[in-house]
Structure 1
Amino acid sequence: MVAEGATTRPTFWQIGHVGEIIFYLLAAVAIVIFAYGLYRKIDRYTSGQEDWFDRLDDLPTRIVEATRIVLSNRKLFDRDTTGGVMHALIMWGFLTLLIGTTILAIDMDIYQPLTGLTGAEQSFFIGDFYLSYSFVMDAMGLLFVVGVGVALYRRYAAREERLWGKHTSIEDDLFIWALFLLGVGGYVTEGIRILGTGFPDFETVSFVGWFLAEAFAVAGMNESLAATVYPAVWWSHSLLALAFVAAIPYAKPFHMLSSYINIVARDEKAGARLPGIPADLDADTGAESIDDFSWKEMLDQDACTKCGRCSSACPAKASGRPLDPRDVILDLKQYREDLDAGETEEIDIVTDGGESVIAAETMESCMSCMACMDACPVDIEHLKSFTRLNRQLTDTGQVDSNVQDTFDNIMGMGNTFGDPPDARADWADELGFDVTDAREEDVEYLWYVGDYPSYDERNKKVARSLAKILEHADIEYGILFEDEKYDGNDIRRLGEEFLYVDLAGHHVEQFEAVDPEKIICTDPHSYNTFKNEYPDVNYDDFADEPLMQFDFDGEWNADGEIDVLHWTQAIEELVEEDRLDLRGDELDYTVTYHDPCHLGRYNDEYEAPRALIRATGATLSEMPRNRANSFCCGGGGGGLWMDIDEETKPSEERMREALEDTPAGSDVEKFVVACPMCMTMYEDGMKTGGYEDDIEIVDVAELLVEALESGPGIEAGVTTDADADGRASGQAD
C-alpha cells in the first residue's frame, strides 16, 4: 500500500490479502487457458498447406505497416463513416484501457517489488502521473462505451442488415455485451470506490466515476454502504475481465489478434495475382479436403468478424445470385471447426450437386470483381480461396457447360470464340492504313488487341478507334496477328490453371521475340494478368511438360523492364505531350463513366480514362458508385460466358444508376467504358433493360476519335466506323 494521503487510489481496496491471492491465481488460470487456446490455433494453422510465397519476409516492415493500417482504421471508414467512427472509438478506447491496466500491473508486480521502496516512493502510480492517468482513462473509457453503444444500436435497434446472416450466433451477442459491461462496469466500480473513500478532491479528474459517485449518493448510497457492496462489484468486474481474456482464442474476440496478424501477412497484390501450382499434373491444387487450404486461408477464416462489409459490396449478392462472400469464408471455418471437434463427418468441400460445404453454383456466381476484398477491413483474400474452390470444380470436371465450351475453344483455336486464328486481325481490314506486324518490324509499343476487340463485331469498332488514335499520334506500334492468343486472365479465375500457364508461356515467347519497350492492352483483364501474373509464373517448371506448347524456361519481366500499360495510360501520356492536338472543347456531351474492376480495384487506375474523357471536352457526371466502389458489369470471372438466371442483371442496374442516380440524371447521353467485356455486358444490359432509346454505350477510344474527327485531328484517309453494322454481337446476345 502507498502512504496514506498520497494522491493515488488503493488498488485492492476492501479486497484483502486473501482476495488478492485468489485474484492472482484466477488471473494465472485465465492466462493459461488463453495460452492453450492460442497454441491450439497456431498448431492448427501448421497443419495447413504452405503458402505459395513468403508472407513473413521483411517482417519488421510488415509489422510497422500493419500497425499503421490498424491504428488508422482507414479501411473501416470506406463506405461507412459511422461504422468507421464507431470502431475507432471502440478500438482506441479498448487499447487505452488495456495499456492502463498494463501500467498498473507493471507498478504493482514489477516496479514495487524490484525497488523495495517504502512510503510514497514505493509506487510511481501517484501524484501528477496518477492524475493524468485517471483523466485519460476516464476520457478514453467513455469513448469506448459510446462506441460500443453505437454498435448495440446498429445491431439491435437499427438492425443493420449486413450485421445479420446465417452465421450470426450467441457469440456475437456475448461479445458485444461483454464489451459494454466491461466498460460500464469499470465506471461503476470507480464510482463506488470514490464514494466509499469519501470523495477525495483529486478524484475529480476521474470525471465519469465522480459523476456516478454523486449519482449513487443522490440515490441514497452512503460511504458505509459503498464500502460494503464494493467487493461484490469489484469481483463481478474482475471475473468478467478474466473470463473475457480466457475466451479470446475460442470465440469472436480472437479477431482482435487474428485480424492484425492477417494484415501483417497480407499480399499487397492479392486478387490481382493468384498463387501458382506445381508442374506435376497429378498435384492436388484444389480443395479436396479442408487441409488443402493454406495456413493463410485458415487465418483468413478466423480473421472474419462477420461485419458483412464484403456481403454488402458484392454485386453478385446484390443481383440475387447465390453468393455471399462472408458465408463462403465462414462456411469453411465452421466446417473446419466442426470436423476438428468431431461434430461432423467429412464431405466434399465443393461440388455440383450432392452434399458439400460450398455449392458449385455459389462459385459460378462470383464475378471476380474483388469488391469483397476491397471492402474487407482485415484484408481477407476471398478470391484466393474462391480460386481454390474453382480449381477443385475444374479438376473434377464440374464446370458450367458454356465455360467448358470456352475452354475447348481456347485449346482448339487459341481464343474464347472458337474462330480461326488467321481471322484475328480481320478487324483491321476496314482501316485506311496498314497495321504493323510486330513480328517482322521493330516497334516501341506492342499492342495486345485481345479476344473481344478481335472477334466481336461491336468491339472491333473499339479496336479500329484505338488504331486510329495510335496512327494519328505517329508512334511505332504493332500487333502479333495470328500469334496473339487469349490472355488467360479469367479462365485462371475459373480454375483452369494449366491452360493459363500454356497461354502465358506462348505469349512470353512472343514478347521475348518482339522485345518491345512497352506493351499496351485494350482489355484491363489482359493488362492485369500481363502486369501482375505473367512475371510470377515459373516457366522453367513447365517448359519440359509435353502438354505445354512452349519452350520458354526463364523469368519474364520480373524487374518490370517492359512497361505494361492499359491503353488509356499510354494515350494519356500522349495527350499530356500534346501529341493528339486536342483543344479540350471538341465535344459537348454529358457522359458518365464506369470503372472496370480490373483497371480500378485491381490496379488502382482511375484517372487516366477520366483525363481522356475530359480532354474531349465532354462533361463527366460521376455515378454514385465509382472508382474503388464501382459496381461490376457482371462479366468477370466467366460471367460473360454463363447464362445466369437473375431478376435484374448487374448491367441493367448500372444503366438505371447512370440515368437516375448521377447528378446529371437523364441528361446523360453516353455511358463510357474502357473494357471490351464491359462493352459487351452493357450493350446487352441496355437492350434487355429497355434503355436503347435513352443512352448510348461508347468506349473512351470512340469518344476520343469523335473528338479528333471534329477538329483538325484525324486525316481523311483514316476512315470511320459510321457504316459498321449493329451495336453488339457475340456471346452477350
Structure 2
Amino acid sequence: MPVLQTTVTRETFWTIGPVGEAAFYYLAAVAILVFGYGVYARITAYASAPADPFDRLDDLPGRIAHATRLLLSNEAQFDRDTYAGVMHTFIVWGFLTLLIGTTILAVDMDIWTKLLGQPSFFVGDFYLSYSLVMDALGLLFVVGVGMALWRRYGVRDPRLWGKHTDLEDDAFVLTLFALGVGGYVVEALRILGTGFPDFETVSFVGYALALAGRAAGISPAMAEAAYAAVWWSHALLALGFVALLPYAKPVHMLTSMANIVTRDEKAGKRLPGVPADLPPDEIGTGSVDDFTWRERLDQDACTTCGRCSSVCPANEVGRNLDPRNVILDLKAYREGRAAGDREEVPIVADGGESVIDAESMHACLSCMACMDACPVDIEHVKQFTGMNRRLTESGEMDPHVQDAMMNAFQQGNVFGDPARKRPEWTEDLDFEVPDAREEAVDLLWYVGDYPSYDERNRRVARSLARIFEAAGVSYGILYEDEAHDGNDVRRVGEEGLYEMLVEDNAAAFSDAEFEEIVCTDPHSYNTFIHEYPEMSEEFDYPVSHYTEVVERLVREGRLDVPAALDRTVTYHDPCHLGRMNDVYEAPRELVRATGATLAEMPRNRADSFCCGGGGGGVWTEVEEEMKPSEERLREAVADTDGDVEQFVVACPMCTTMFEDGRKTGGFEDDLEILDLTELLVEAMDAADDGAAANAGGQPGTPAD
C-alpha cells in the first residue's frame, strides 16, 4: 500500500530505488560529457576560422548584459508579430525557470546534503514556494510550446516552412512539448500515489491532473506502480535532449545567445575593408575557408523562423532572393564539406553549379530589413557583400551596374557626365550658391550625384538651396570637386573603387573650412558617418542629413515654414535614413510644420518597405510583374487611412524609384511624388502668395 506523505517536501527518487538513482547519475554524467564535448568542438571550430575584422568582445560585461536583457524581454520577437512575442516569452521564461529549478534541486541533493552533509533546505516554506513557481512558469512553457505547435501545424504559417524544414524541426518542438507535459504527468502520479498531501495543492497543475487521474479510475497503487516507468521516460528524454543539443538544430538555443553577445551594432551600416595585400582572386567569399568565425556563428544561430524572408522587399516581389535560405544554404554546404558529404563548388557564381546563384546577390537591395527583423542579430548584408565582392572580382556583375561603376571611376559620378557639369543645377537659381572651396562656411553641403545630374532631382537641390537662403545660414558646396559618395558602390562589391572615392572626397573636404557636413542623400549620410572615418583618419566631421538641419532651423526660429498646406500626405522612411540611422521624427515634424495632414503607411519607421534603389538597385533593370516601388505606392494608396494626395520622400534615389514606379504601376492619377524640400518650398510659396494677395487690398482694388 502507498505510504501517505506528511513531511512538507517530496522524495525526488520516489520508487526509483538506489540502483535506479545510481543509474540516473551515471547517465546524467554521460549526457553532460557529451554535451560538453559538443560545445567544445564548436568553439574549437570557430576558433580555427579566420578572424573577424571587427572587435566582437570589447566591453564583454556590457555585451552580456545587453544580450540578457533581449533574452528576457523578447522585444525582438514582439516586433511585427505579437503572437510570436508572447509565445517566445512563455517558452523562454518557462524554460529558464525549469532550468534554474532543476539546478537548485541538484545543488540541494548533490552538494548541500551529500557533499556538505547539511540538512536539506528543500522543505517547508522553501519547498512550497519552489513548487508554486515551478508549476506556474512550467505551465507558461507548455502553453508557449502549444502556441508554437498551433502556428506550425494548426494554421501552418508559411513563414515556418521552406526548403530547410525537415523532421528535425518536428522532433525539436514535439520534444519540448513532451518534456513540459511529461513533468506534470510525473508530478501528478506522485501526488496521487502519496495520497494527495494537503500542501501539494501549491503544485496546482500536477494536483489538478492527479484529481483528473483519480476521476478516471487511477488508484494510488496504480499510480505508484506506473511512476517509475513514466519517470524514466521523462528523465531519458531530458538527458537525451541535453546530450544532443550541440549537435542538432536546437543548438541555436546556445549559438543565438552567443550571436547577440558578439553583435556589431554598426553591422550593415558599415562594411569591413579588404586587406591591402590580398590578391584580387582571393577578395570576397569564395570557399568555406573564407567564412570568419562570426559568419559561421551567424549561420549556426539561424532559428529558421523566416522573419528575414518575410520582410525582404526583393523576396516579396518575386526576385530570386530568400535571405533565410541563403544563410542556411551556406551552413548546409559548410557542414557538408566538413563531413565530406559535399563536393567543392564555388560559393557564388553566375550559372553552373554553386552554393548561391549570382542572381540572388544581385537582387539584394542592402536595405537591412532582414537584419532588423532577425531576432538573433544575423548579419546578412555583411555576408552578401562578401559574395558580391567575389562576383565583382570574377567579372560577374550586372551590365548596368558595371556601366555605373565605370562612370564613377572615369568621371567621379555614376551618370558619366563631366565633373564640370555637376554644379549646372545652380544656374536656374536667382542667387549664387556659395563656393565652399573659396570661403569658410558653417554647413558644407554635399549635394550628391542625383541632385546634381538627374533633372528630376535637380529640383530637390534647388529647393534645398532656397531653404538655406531663406534661413540665412552660412553654407556652400564643393562644385566640381565633389565625387560620388561610394555607399552603394561598396555594397555591389567594388571595394577598390569605393576606396578611391573616399580618398577623393576626403581630400576635397580637407581643403574646405566648415563646421558640419549636410547631405541631401541618406546613402551619403550613412557612409560618411559609419565608414569614411574608418577609411580616412582625416575624416572626422559632424555629419547630418538635411532633414535634421532644416528641422533644427525651424525649431530655433531661423526658418519660418507657414502651416499653409491643407492636404493629406504620407511619408516614406528611406532605409538609409530611418532603419539604419534612426532619423524618424525630424522629417515628420517638417511635414506637420507645413500644415499638411500626415497619414502613416502600415509599414513605417524601422518597418519601412524599401523603394528598390539600394545596393545597386537604382542602376539595374529587372523584368518582373511588380517592382518594390510599385508595391510601396500600392500600400500608400490602398492601405493608408485618408485620401493621400502626395507621397513625400527624403532621398533622391527614392524619388527616382518612385517616379518610375508611379508610371509603370499606373499610379499617375493617384499620387504625386515630392521630396520633403519641395513640400516645404510649396508651403513657403503658398504663404507668400497669400501675403501678396492680401497686400492687394479689398476685392476690386488693383494689386500692386
TM-score, with length taken from structure 2: 0.96
Alpha-carbon shift at residue 276 of structure 1 (Å)? 1.3
CA contact (8 A) 2:132 2:203 kept: yes
Inter-partner Cα distance in structure 2 for 1:131 and 1:154: 35
Inter-partner Cα distance in structure 1 for 2:266 and 2:624: 31
- Paired residue for 1:387? 385
Alpha-carbon shift at residue 113 of structure 1 (Å)? 2.1
Alpha-carbon shift at residue 40 of structure 1 (Å)? 1.4
CA contact (8 A) 1:447 1:521 kept: yes
Q: Secondary structure at the match of 2:347?
A: strand
The 10-residue stretch of structure 1 (171-180 or 40-49) with the greater mean CA deviation from structure 2: 40-49
Alpha-carbon shift at residue 646 of structure 1 (Å)? 1.6
> What is the letter of the counterpart of residue 648 of structure 2?
V
Inter-partner Cα distance in structure 2 for 1:461 and 1:309: 38
- Paired residue for 1:139? 136
CA contact (8 A) 2:601 2:636 kept: yes
Inter-partner Cα distance in structure 2 for 1:459 and 1:447: 15
Alpha-carbon shift at residue 315 of structure 1 (Å)? 0.6
- Paired residue for 1:437? 435
Note closer, same or farther for the CA distance 1:347–1:497 as it changes in structure 2 (3 Å cut): same
The answer to whether structure 1 residue 602 and structure 2 residue 600 are counterparts is no
Alpha-carbon shift at residue 174 of structure 1 (Å)? 0.6
State how 1:71-470 maps to structure 2 within 5 Å: 71-117=72-118, 122-280=119-277, 282=279, 284-470=282-468
- Paired residue for 2:571? 593
- Paired residue for 2:589? 611
> What is the letter of the counterpart of residue 174 of structure 2?
W
Alpha-carbon shift at residue 712 of structure 1 (Å)? 4.1
- Paired residue for 2:698? none
Inter-partner Cα distance in structure 2 for 1:607 and 1:172: 42
Structure 2: state its 5+ residue gaps: 693-704
> What is the letter of the counterpart of residue 587 of structure 1?
L
Inter-partner Cα distance in structure 1 for 2:228 and 2:209: 17
Inter-partner Cα distance in structure 1 for 2:613 and 2:383: 20
1:567 to 543, 546, 567: 546
Alpha-carbon shift at residue 645 of structure 1 (Å)? 1.8
Inter-partner Cα distance in structure 1 for 2:146 and 2:5: 38
> What is the letter of the counterpart of residue 179 of structure 2?
L
CA contact (8 A) 2:618 2:657 kept: yes
Alpha-carbon shift at residue 281 of structure 1 (Å)? 5.0
Inter-partner Cα distance in structure 1 for 2:45 and 2:353: 25
Inter-partner Cα distance in structure 2 for 1:185 and 1:707: 68
Inter-partner Cα distance in structure 2 for 1:385 and 1:93: 34
- Paired residue for 2:469? 471
Note closer, same or farther for the CA distance 1:714–1:368 as it changes in structure 2 (3 Å cut): farther
* Alignment deviations for residues 310-358 of structure 1 (CA, whole Å, 9 cap, x no partner): 0101111000001000000000000011111111111100000110000
State how 1:492-641 maps to structure 2 within 5 Å: 492-537=490-535, 539=536, 554-557=537-540, 562-583=541-562, 585-641=563-619
Task: Number of aligned residue pairs: give it.
Answer: 688
Inter-partner Cα distance in structure 2 for 1:685 and 1:455: 20
The 10-residue stretch of structure 1 (312-321 or 219-228) with the greater mean CA deviation from structure 2: 219-228
Inter-partner Cα distance in structure 1 for 2:430 and 2:569: 29
Alpha-carbon shift at residue 129 of structure 1 (Å)? 0.2
Instruction: Please list every run of at least 4 consecutive aligned residues from structure 1 whose deviation after the TM superposition is greater than 3 angstroms.
Output: 712-716
Q: Secondary structure at the match of 1:348?
A: coil
Inter-partner Cα distance in structure 2 for 1:582 and 1:176: 57
- Paired residue for 2:49? 48
Note closer, same or farther for the CA distance 1:652–1:588 as it changes in structure 2 (3 Å cut): same
CA contact (8 A) 1:445 1:519 kept: yes
1:683 to 651, 659, 663: 659
* Alignment deviations for residues 428-467 of structure 1 (CA, whole Å, 9 cap, x no partner): 1000000111111111100000000000000000000000
Inter-partner Cα distance in structure 2 for 1:715 and 1:471: 19
Inter-partner Cα distance in structure 1 for 2:46 and 2:394: 26
CA contact (8 A) 1:580 1:713 kept: no
> What is the letter of the counterpart of residue 399 of structure 2?
S
* Alignment deviations for residues 278-311 of structure 1 (CA, whole Å, 9 cap, x no partner): 1125163311111101111110001100000001
Inter-partner Cα distance in structure 2 for 1:435 and 1:24: 81
Q: Secondary structure at the match of 1:709?
A: helix
CA contact (8 A) 1:586 1:711 kept: yes
Inter-partner Cα distance in structure 1 for 2:603 and 2:5: 64
- Paired residue for 1:480? 478
Inter-partner Cα distance in structure 2 for 1:512 and 1:412: 22
* Alignment deviations for residues 9-57 of structure 1 (CA, whole Å, 9 cap, x no partner): 0000000111011101111111111111111111211232111121101
1:650 to 613, 628, 632: 628
* Alignment deviations for residues 656-677 of structure 1 (CA, whole Å, 9 cap, x no partner): 111111001xx21110000000
Inter-partner Cα distance in structure 1 for 2:116 and 2:416: 82
Question: Between the two proteins, what is the percent identity of the paired residues?
Answer: 65
> What is the letter of the counterpart of residue 424 of structure 2?
D
Q: Secondary structure at the match of 1:514?
A: coil
- Paired residue for 1:61? 62
Alpha-carbon shift at residue 714 of structure 1 (Å)? 12
The answer to whether structure 1 residue 672 and structure 2 residue 672 are counterparts is no
Q: Secondary structure at the match of 2:296?
A: helix
Inter-partner Cα distance in structure 2 for 1:52 and 1:310: 24
Inter-partner Cα distance in structure 1 for 2:49 and 2:482: 39
Inter-partner Cα distance in structure 1 for 2:564 and 2:221: 86
> What is the letter of the counterpart of residue 597 of structure 2?
T
Q: Secondary structure at the match of 2:517?
A: strand
CA contact (8 A) 2:439 2:513 kept: no
Inter-partner Cα distance in structure 1 for 2:691 and 2:422: 26
> What is the letter of the counterpart of residue 125 of structure 1?
F
